[in-house]
Structure 1
Amino acid sequence: MASYAPAATIAEFGTLPGRVHEHAVSRPDATALIDADSAVTYQALDRRIDRAVAALQRDGFSPGDVVAICAANSIDYVVAMLAALRAGGSFAPLAPSSTAEALGLMLDNSGATFAFVDAYGRNAQEALAARSAIRPVGINDDGPYTPIDDWLADTNTTPEPVEPDPDTIFNIIYSSGTTGAPKGIVHTNRLRWPQIAGGVVKLYDESSVTLVSTPLYSNTTLVSFMPALAAGGTLVLMPKFDAGRFLALAEQHHVTHAMLVPVQYRRLLDHPDFDHTDLSSFQIKCCTSSPFGADVKAEVLERWPGGLLEFYGMTEGGGSCMLVAHEHPDKLHTVGQPMPGHELRIIDEDGIEIERSRVGEIVGHSGFIMRGYHGDAERTRATEWYEPDTGARFIRTGDIGYFDEDGFLNIVGRAKETIISGGFNIFPSDIEAVLREHEALADVAVFGVDSAQWGETPVAFVTLAPGADIDAETIQAWANARLGKFQRLSDTRVVDAVPRNAIGKVSRKDLRRIYSENA
């Protein structure tokens, strides 16, 4: 079983491509990556990265430059990512589901000089058409760009070595938020190294087999992908999540580790093949990214072999918590305790620190804090909170919560999602928790809409469990009988699916748009 304390010692600084090279030398025939089409050993992966580095250098890439990637998970996605780092640059992973307009804003903000695109990144093609300064490369053969196999340098070419700089940019990750211009979150090489080396939580080793089913453009994926690869294990890459395919791959490859988001857990548990799939090889499952219901955690512990870890934190960094769910079954309603070296505090609406047991906004400090939002000092400053006495820099999470008497963090809701109705603060998560108790409901989302009488009023979108036969009015009456006076729903809609992004976060912007269009 994994250890949950910092490793005893790690090298002061290293790189992920450097770790791959070390395994290529010491364990050349060990399988590094498996995707939908092929598999590659550490030696072959290391050589392909070198060929990509040489091609980048041949075409004018310089240390400090940025490679954009808009594609599904694949071996060559990883090659593009690690080649950018080995060449002394950074990478900007872009969500293929983004609009062409949003992708154009990300490309402009990142300053990318190269872009790697596959068939999933069709919207990027429109954005790239208006940006001739960016060199596009095709990750597959069915697009308009030079395929990566034709673009790579000759197999005998050796790239120019580049000395890694701890303080240069490792990645620019664009926020999964659904409002406003995308925010490019900057992490440096120095910041990423403890995560890569397993200096925070040691989960992986050379025997690990990790199934990667969330997209590589997400920090959710990277925080598990990087240490798993650095440890020398095998990683199985899914281009797109499918519950049945996940179960088949897990059994086929004797998977030991996986990072999943809550909606994936629910879909897997509900799949008809779940209880007939051999999952006994699992050592640890992890979860992060969005609220993870205590009932689902309990079901995972009961039905799925191996331990369960929940991580709470932000891509921006700051303070993170970890819940070792299999060791604390009485704390499944929380997100755990602060991780070693992480400090979290509670502040009020005026930015004044209050007692940890009181409800307020959560702010966090640790060695892992973003440099800032790329090219956006104003929005960077808006997410910071400074400790008055020491000047220590904390990141504002935007989450509302409190610590219980045992030091476990309870999340009440999002500050921006708080519904103010009749002067009372209403947290959608409280109403959602009640709705989830109804056996006929598979998924729920609560949000606020304008109300002439109350200022705002709560509305629910729900999806039905398979075979359920119930109408919205009955669901609403059932919920309102259990809710407080000011929490009661003013409208409930049964929908085919609650709109979520690729890593399972509810898109409340889309909820409000859909609701207004069908009012």
Structure 2
Amino acid sequence: MERVEDLLARDFGTLPDLIRRHAANQPDKLAIADGDAQITYAELDRAMDRAAAALQRDGTAQGQAVAIVSYPSVAQSIVFLAAVRAGSIAAPIQPSATPEQIAGMVEDSGANLVFLDRANADALAGQTMSARIVMLEELDQWLAPEESTPTPVEIAPLDGFNIIYSSGTTGIPKGIVQSHTMRWQHLSRNSTAGFDTAVTLLATPLYSNTTLVSFLPTLAWGGTVVLMKKFDARCYLELAQQYRATHTMLVPVQYQRIMALPDFDSFDLSAFRFKTCTSAPFKAELKRDILNRWPGKLVEYYGMTEGGASFILVADENPDKLHTVGKLSPGHEALLLDEDGNEVAPGEMGEIVGRSPAMMNGYHKREGATRDAEYHDAEGRRWIRHGDVGRIDEDGFLILMDRKKDMIISGGFNIYPSDLEAVLAQHPAVADCTVVGVPSEEWGETPVGFYVPRPGAAASAEEVRAAVNEKLGKTQRLSKLYVTDELPRSAIGKVLKRELRDRLAQGEFEGVNA
């Protein structure tokens, strides 16, 4: 029988076939646990067959989406993987969206079935949809009978594997269609990450590519996945210790909360070999703290759910580059462009565009949005616009500046919020912060800050603003600074700047700055 590593060395294959091989080679090995349930590889393979057969029985066609609205769980994982085995497209949807948005995403996906867990039973309250709801707690009753198998399907490389809906605070988010060949690239390139013997602890949702880039390779290589339904810093450390976790993917705000626990150093984390981070700005000081106190490698990934180019920073091997997001991943290409679409000179800032073997098919049913996300060079080659501005240093490491859409143009000057946030974060009274641009009659736009004060901080917002502005250039200075109990964040830790702008425009922060 061909080894799994030999299968993964092929140009193309499918994840369900790899799981089938693990079920034969290591049937009793734990595949997935979620705190309430667990499943071995043999049980997972059997459940995937029964669920795939049930999807076909209920009329889900090859190439049709299967919607899932759930917290991470064994049951959610079964449905996700069964959809892929049946040749359908897994479409996990964020339960934190509004009922109208969730129903809109289900309709947009074209799913005839939507799987819902009881914890999110109200997620579709009052909504009318063409899709039928199946409760995940009743999955056993819905599954096809024991020994059922799905009708075999032939999967082509560009067939859809999953749809990931981009985050958004208004309207229906765009569905990013990732193909089987894109996912195969993610699985096969992890040959040195040790996922075959991994116990991967994940605390982010399965509707996010942040989670899937660790969840799927762990199962592809035959490791064990431990899922947290909801993140809690202390619970995370308790699970890491209980399961002897070796691998993890966390977003920066999760690392921050874990490292801030007073008794962090009392937990036994000696089994860790591979820690990764992505999805949001990762402060150099936080990386350094993790390197000093948490065993194992620390690797930061920068890239797009849509694909394009990926950059990798192996933090422990590059302690003098912690302010960067690393170097280009092998086989990936990137360009930095000016406002006219011309490549900038070495060392200069520009908009990042990238291309690689792992790029999305496009946005589901949105040809115009897909075209807007693409860049085609003089040779007609397709690149993906990252939407970020950065520069590459003399050693080939990428330094991110900001999202292009978040750049503030004030009095004709380009202002990068990340520069201001870095200064604001250094103030002893500031626990968390962000900066956004708001309309200004005098300057066109002006920077405004928001911060969460440290417990016991004596400085007023006006005192903090004055101290910060002394360290900023004249065109960068904060026009106002507001205090807030917390910054609104997505489930993967990104600050929702649009929400802050909307709340500010509605007058919510009036009178809260000193």
Query: Could you tell me the TM-score, scaled by structure 2's length?
Result: 0.95
CA shift at 1:464, angstroms?
A: 2.0
Kept after mapping to 2: 8 A contact 1:7/1:202: no
* AA matched with 1:91: A
Alignment of 1:458-497 (within 5 A): 458-497=447-486
Which residue pairs with 2:339 in the alignment?
349
Answer yes or no: is 1:162 the counterpart of 2:162.
no
CA shift at 1:179, angstroms?
A: 4.9
Which residue pairs with 2:320 in the alignment?
330
Answer yes or no: is 1:171 the counterpart of 2:162.
yes
Kept after mapping to 1: 8 A contact 2:185/2:357: no
CA shift at 1:7, angstroms?
A: 9.9
Query: Tell me, what secondary structure is at the counterpart of 2:487?
Result: coil
State the Cα deviation string for residues 261-311 of structure 1 (Å, max 9, x = none).
Answer: 010010001112311111111111100001111111111111111110000
State the Cα deviation string for residues 323-345 of structure 1 (Å, max 9, x = none).
Answer: 01000000000010000001111
CA shift at 1:392, angstroms?
A: 1.2
Equivalent of residue 214 in structure 2, options 224, 231, 243: 224
Distance 1:439 1:259 in 2: 29
Distance 1:117 1:41 in 2: 23
Kept after mapping to 2: 8 A contact 1:13/1:190: yes
Answer yes or no: is 1:417 the counterpart of 2:406.
yes
CA shift at 1:182, angstroms?
A: 1.0
Answer yes or no: is 1:191 the counterpart of 2:177.
no
Cα distance change, pair 263–39 in 1 and its aligned pair in 2 (3 A): same
Query: Tell me, what secondary structure is at the counterpart of 1:228?
Result: helix
Kept after mapping to 2: 8 A contact 1:200/1:340: no
Which residue pairs with 1:397 in the alignment?
386
Which residue pairs with 1:87 in the alignment?
86
Answer yes or no: is 1:130 the counterpart of 2:128.
yes
Kept after mapping to 2: 8 A contact 1:45/1:79: yes
* AA matched with 2:128: A
Kept after mapping to 2: 8 A contact 1:179/1:509: no
Which residue pairs with 2:263 in the alignment?
273
Moved more, 53-62 or 116-125: 116-125
Query: Tell me, what secondary structure is at the counterpart of 2:431?
Result: strand
Aligned pairs, number: 504
Answer yes or no: is 1:63 the counterpart of 2:66.
no
Which residue pairs with 2:440 in the alignment?
451
State the Cα deviation string for residues 396-445 of structure 1 (Å, max 9, x = none).
Answer: 11101110000000111111101111111111000001111123322111
Query: Tell me, what secondary structure is at the counterpart of 1:476?
Result: helix
Which residue pairs with 2:202 in the alignment?
212
Moved more, 79-88 or 117-126: 117-126
Distance 1:336 1:205 in 2: 22
Moved more, 214-223 or 349-358: 349-358
State the Cα deviation string for residues 35-69 of structure 1 (Å, max 9, x = none).
Answer: 12021111111111111112112212221121001
CA shift at 1:104, angstroms?
A: 2.1
Which residue pairs with 1:143 in the alignment?
none
Kept after mapping to 2: 8 A contact 1:71/1:117: yes
Kept after mapping to 2: 8 A contact 1:17/1:86: yes
Query: Could you tell me the TM-score, scaled by structure 1's length?
Result: 0.94
Which residue pairs with 1:302 in the alignment?
292
Distance 2:82 2:56 in 1: 10
Kept after mapping to 2: 8 A contact 1:139/1:148: yes
Distance 2:181 2:318 in 1: 33
Question: How many percent of aligned residue pairs carry the same amino acid?
Answer: 51
Distance 2:495 2:46 in 1: 40
Give unmatched runs, 5+ long, in structure 2: none
Answer yes or no: is 1:500 the counterpart of 2:489.
yes
Distance 1:302 1:409 in 2: 23
* AA matched with 2:454: A
Kept after mapping to 1: 8 A contact 2:284/2:322: yes
Query: Tell me, what secondary structure is at the counterpart of 2:317?
Result: coil
Cα distance change, pair 382–201 in 1 and its aligned pair in 2 (3 A): farther
Query: Tell me, what secondary structure is at the counterpart of 2:196?
Result: coil
Distance 1:207 1:91 in 2: 26
Q: CA RMSD in A?
A: 1.7
Distance 1:415 1:160 in 2: 47
State the Cα deviation string for residues 128-162 of structure 1 (Å, max 9, x = none).
Answer: x411x31211112xxxxxx2121111223233222
* AA matched with 1:135: R
Kept after mapping to 1: 8 A contact 2:203/2:236: yes
CA shift at 1:205, angstroms?
A: 3.0
Which residue pairs with 2:140 in the alignment?
149
Answer yes or no: is 1:290 the counterpart of 2:280.
yes
* AA matched with 1:232: G
* AA matched with 2:77: V
Which residue pairs with 2:43 in the alignment?
44
Distance 1:62 1:461 in 2: 48
* AA matched with 1:314: M
Query: Tell me, what secondary structure is at the counterpart of 1:326?
Result: helix
CA shift at 1:123, angstroms?
A: 4.8
Kept after mapping to 2: 8 A contact 1:86/1:164: no
Give unmatched runs, 5+ long, in structure 1: 1-5, 141-146
Kept after mapping to 2: 8 A contact 1:384/1:393: yes
Query: Tell me, what secondary structure is at the counterpart of 1:407?
Result: coil
CA shift at 1:244, angstroms?
A: 0.7
